[in-house]
Amino acid sequence: MTRKLLELAGIGKERLHLAWVSSAEAQRFVEVATSVIESIKMQGPLDRIAHEMSLSACEMTLDSETLRWLVGKEVKITSQGDIYGRQWSVESYESFLDHTLEREYQKNLIYLAIDQGCSSVKDISERIGLDLKRISYLLADLEKTGRIEFRGMEDRKPVFAVL
Amino acid sequence: MTDYEPKIIAFLCNWCAYAGADLAGVSRLQYPANLRTVRVMCSGRVDPVFIIKALREGSDGVLVSG
């Protein structure tokens, strides 16, 4: 999931490697280490100034209750069904998880954009590159959960602020 | 990019990969020195937030190994 998020954020999933090495496999560890280093070398240094905003949004997303709950409940819900008695297949659950991951990430980007002074939907869109419709939709969500507020109209544009 | 040396944070499980790395050292196997190791008691200890934090604070890549 973290790799999916890194890909979503434009950092690239290839920056994170996972490997299983047992304690007796020194040779394997050397192979893994060498291949990881080669792969990162090919990608070059990470431009963390350019990615600062997306990294913050990633951190907020991974730290959120919504995703932690969804991940924690996956086995229970896919094997026993949810509290409404609905059955979930692993595929449908994972696709729901992916959608949520994307939505939460975009919401956090919007939140950060507003925090940095982009107050109208158009400013936010220019800052983070999402389309206007999607932003308006997610703004309503952010407003409902009390993270941002509608501050009124300015030059016939709605203005938002973070809480 | 021939002279570029990346910084990679490696989260290694004490019982598996860390011991593997130790054994590699003891058996004098050579590997590049770009890994900065963080020993954890289990790779399940690694929170996704650690990974983002590592990337934010100066590493070019992250390896989680158990």
- Quick: pLDDT tens for B18-35: 999 999 989 998 888 889
> What percentage of chain A has pLDDT greater than the value 70?
100
Q: Report the residue from A1, A36, A44 with minimal CB separation from B8.
A: A36
pLDDT confidence of A4, banded at 50, 70, 90? confident
pLDDT confidence of A154, banded at 50, 70, 90? confident
Q: pLDDT averaged over chain A?
A: 90
The whole-number pLDDT of residue A117 equals: 86
Task: List the alpha helices (DSSP H) in A10-84.
Answer: 26-43, 52-62, 65-80
pLDDT at A128 over 80: yes
Nearest chain A CA: its distance from B14 CA (Å): 9
pLDDT digits (tens, 9 = 90+) for A76-116: 999 999 999 999 999 999 999 999 999 999 999 999 999 99
Neighbour-count burial for A41-60, b at 16+ CB within 10 Å, e otherwise: bebeebeeeebebbbbbbbb
How far is it, in rounded angstroms, from Cα A79 to Cα A74? 8
According to DSSP, the residues that pair with B36 across neighbouring strands are B9
pLDDT at B1 over 80: no
The whole-number pLDDT of residue B9 equals: 94
Token readout for A115 is 């925090």
User: Which has more confidence, A17 or A2?
Assistant: A17
Helix (H) or strand (E) holding A144: helix A132-144
> Domain boundaries in chain B?
34-66
A148 closest CA partner among A123, A105, A118, A128: A118
The whole-number pLDDT of residue A153 equals: 86
pLDDT digits (tens, 9 = 90+) for A36-59: 999 999 888 888 888 999 999 999
Q: Which of A5, A16, A43 to mutate to test the interface with B (most CBs of B within 10 A)?
A: A16
The whole-number pLDDT of residue A94 equals: 93
Q: pLDDT averaged over chain B?
A: 89
Nearest chain A CA: its distance from B36 CA (Å): 11
3 state DSSP class of B3: coil
Domains of chain A and CATH, by start: 2-43 (no CATH), 52-162 (1.10.10)
The whole-number pLDDT of residue B2 equals: 57
A111 closest CA partner among A143, A89, A82: A143
Q: How many C-beta neighbours within 10 Å does residue A106 have?
A: 20
B14 closest CA partner among B45, B42, B51, B53: B42
CB spacing of A19 vs B17 below 8 angstroms: yes
Q: Report the residue from A17, A34, A48 with minimal CB separation from B56.
A: A48
Q: In Å, how far are A6, A40, B43, B64 from B57, measured between CA atoms?
A: 16, 16, 21, 17
How far is it, in rounded angstroms, from Cα A7 to Cα A54? 11
Nearest chain B CA: its distance from A25 CA (Å): 6
Phi (first) and psi of residue B33, to 5 degrees: -95, 30
CB spacing of B62 vs A15 below 8 angstroms: yes
Cα A52 from chain centroid (whole Å): 14
The whole-number pLDDT of residue A5 equals: 86
Q: Report the residue from A16, A22, A40 with minimal CB separation from B51.
A: A16
